[in-house]
Amino acid sequence: MKLNDYLFRNNRRKFLKNFSLALGSAAFATPLVSMALGDSQQNKKKLGIALVGLGRYSKGQLAPALQKTENCYLAGIVTGTPSKAKEWQKKYNIPEKNIYNYENFDEIANNPDIDIIYVVLPNAMHAEYTIRAAKAKKHVICEKPMATSVEDCQRMIDACNENNVSLSIGYRLHFEPHNQRVMELGQQKVYGPVQTIEAADSFVIDDPSRWRLDKELAGGGPLMDLGIYCVQGAIYTVGETPTSVTASFGKVTKPEFFDEVEESISWQMQFPGGAVANCTSSYNNDANRLYGKAANGWWELSPAYSYSGIKGKTSEGPMNIPNVEQQARQMDGIAQSIKQNKFSRVPGEMGLRDVRVLMAIYEAARTGKRVTV
C-alpha cells in the first residue's frame, strides 16, 4: 500500500471511530488527509466544479451561486442535451473541452480543470455517477437524498474511500446561519434539554409528469424530497440519531398524480435523550417550519428550509440573523475542507444515516409498527 493511501485510510478510520454520526455541523471538523489533489492543486485559489445535470436546481441556484463563490468556480458541465450545452457555454464562458455528456463522462478523469463533480441528477442516478466520479479521482458533492437505498449509499462511500476522494452531500442548511443557530440552541441546551420538535416541509406539485412522481427515479415521494429536511432538522436540533420511528401515509386525494409514490406522510421520531419529533411532508400542501421546545424556552424557523427568506424567533424574541447565499456558502465550505485536508461538514456517512432513517419511516408507514433505526 502506498504511503498516501495508508495515511488516508488510517486517518479516516480514526475519525469514524471517534465521531458520532448524529451530531450537527460542528462534529465534522476533524482533519482529513485527502490525496486526490496534488500540491499545485491544493494551492489553487479556486477549485473547479463540474455540474452533472442541468435541471432547475443547477440552473436556478447552483450556477448563479458559483458566480459568487471564493473557493470554487463553475469549470464544466455534463448534460445529455446539446442545446443546453450551447446555452450554458455561452452564458458562463465554459471551454469546449470542459463540456461532457453521459457517454463520455468518464473522460473527465483526464481534465485537470475539474476538481469536484457535483451530481445533480434524479435520486436513482446518484449512486452511478458518484461512483463513476470517484473512479475518475474527482471529489464528489451529491445532492440529497444521497441515494434510494442504504446499499447504494454504502457503495458510494466505499468507492470514494477506495479512490481517496471526499464525498459530501448537498445539505446546504448546515451552512445557513438560522439553522446553525438551531443546532446551537438544541445541542448546547441553551434553554435546557430539548423536549419536543415539530418539523414540516411540503409544497404542491401541479404537474403529473414531474420525475419526482416516478418511483423508479425518485425512490419515493415527498419523504425523500422534502421530508429529509425534517429528518435532518430534528437530528441537528438534538445532535442525536433517532432510536425508533412510527409513521402513517396520508389519504390520496389525487390518484392520477400519486399512483406510484405517497402524496403525504406523517411520522414521529424518538431520540435517546427523550426528545420526540413530530414531522409531516406532502406534495399537496404548503408548509415550511422547524420548531423546538426545551425545558426553559422555545425557538422556531418559518420558513426553515427555503433557499432564501428564512426567518427565526425564540421565546426571547426575533433571531435577527441576516440571510445568506446558501448554495455559495455550501460549496465554498466544502471546497475549503478539501483544500485544507479537513473532513466535510456534510460527509457521505451523514447521508447514509439519513437514508437509513428514511427507509425506517417507510417501513413503519407500511407496517403500522414501531421500527427501530
Cell matching residue 282? 406532502
CA distance 44 to 214: 41
- From 8, 12, 26, select the one nearest 182 (Cα to Cα): 26
CA distance 332 to 160: 20
Average pLDDT over residues 147-161: 98
H helices of 171-325, in order, are: 177-187, 215-218, 222, 228-238
pLDDT > 70? residue 6: no
Give the per-residue pLDDT at 186: 98
DSSP 8-state secondary structure symbol assigned to residue 326: H
18 or 331, greater pLDDT: 331
Measured between alpha carbons, how far is residue 56 from residues 51, 64, 75, 328 in Å?
A: 12, 12, 19, 16
Helices 126-135, 150-162: axis angle to 10 degrees equals 10
Q: Cβ(55)–Cβ(28) under 8 Å?
A: no
Average pLDDT over residues 170-181: 98
Q: Which of 138, 144, 293, 339 is catalytic?
A: 144
Four-residue CA torsion sign, 107, 108, 109, 110: positive
Give the per-residue pLDDT at 10: 40
For 356, residues 6+ apart whose C-beta sits below 8 A from its C-beta are: 150, 153, 373
pLDDT > 90? residue 34: no
CA distance 327 to 336: 14
Average pLDDT over residues 209-231: 98
pLDDT tens figures, 110-123: 999 999 999 999 99
- Residue 4 pLDDT grade (very low, low, confident, very high; cuts 50, 70, 90): very low
Give the per-residue pLDDT at 21: 41
Give the per-residue pLDDT at 44: 67
- What are the structural domain ranges in the chain? 34-172+329-342, 177-323+357-372
Residue 139's SS3 state is strand
H helix or E strand, kind and range, residue 194:
strand 194-204
Q: Cβ(75)–Cβ(92) under 8 Å?
A: no
Q: Give the gyration radius of the chain's Cα atoms.
A: 20
Give the per-residue pLDDT at 217: 98
Average pLDDT over residues 163-180: 98
Give the per-residue pLDDT at 12: 46
Q: Which of 229, 291, 305, 362 is catalytic?
A: 229
| Mean pLDDT for the chain overall | 91
For 83, residues 6+ apart whose C-beta sits below 8 A from its C-beta are: none
pLDDT > 90? residue 23: no
What's the topology of domain 34-172+329-342?
Rossmann fold (3.40.50)
pLDDT > 70? residue 261: yes
Output the DSSP codes for 285-298. EEEEEEEEEETTEE
Four-residue CA torsion sign, 228, 232, 233, 238: positive
The single residue listed with the C-alpha cell 447504494 is 152
Clarify whether 102 is annotated catalytic: no
pLDDT tens figures, 66-104: 999 999 999 999 999 999 999 999 999 999 999 999 999
pLDDT > 90? residue 236: yes
Residue 226's SS3 state is helix
pLDDT > 60? residue 60: yes
Measured between alpha carbons, how far is residue 349 from residues 12, 21, 93 in Å?
A: 12, 7, 35
pLDDT tens figures, 349-372: 999 999 999 999 999 999 999 999
- From 295, 281, 307, select the one nearest 361 (Cα to Cα): 281
Single-letter amino acid, residue 362: Y
Give the per-residue pLDDT at 35: 41
pLDDT tens figures, 316-338: 999 999 999 999 999 999 999 99
The single residue listed with the C-alpha cell 445557513 is 176
- Residue 3 pLDDT grade (very low, low, confident, very high; cuts 50, 70, 90): very low
Clarify whether 229 is annotated catalytic: yes
CB atoms within 10 A of CB 286: 10
pLDDT tens figures, 197-213: 999 999 999 999 999 99
DSSP 8-state secondary structure symbol assigned to residue 310: -
pLDDT > 90? residue 260: yes
Please give the CATH number for the structural domain made up of 177-323+357-372.
3.30.360.10
pLDDT > 70? residue 373: yes
Q: Cβ(49)–Cβ(330) under 8 Å?
A: no
Give the per-residue pLDDT at 20: 41
Give the per-residue pLDDT at 27: 40
- From 157, 185, 143, 162, select the one nearest 16 (Cα to Cα): 157
pLDDT tens figures, 294-304: 999 999 999 99
Give the per-residue pLDDT at 7: 35
pLDDT > 80? residue 287: yes
pLDDT > 50? residue 131: yes
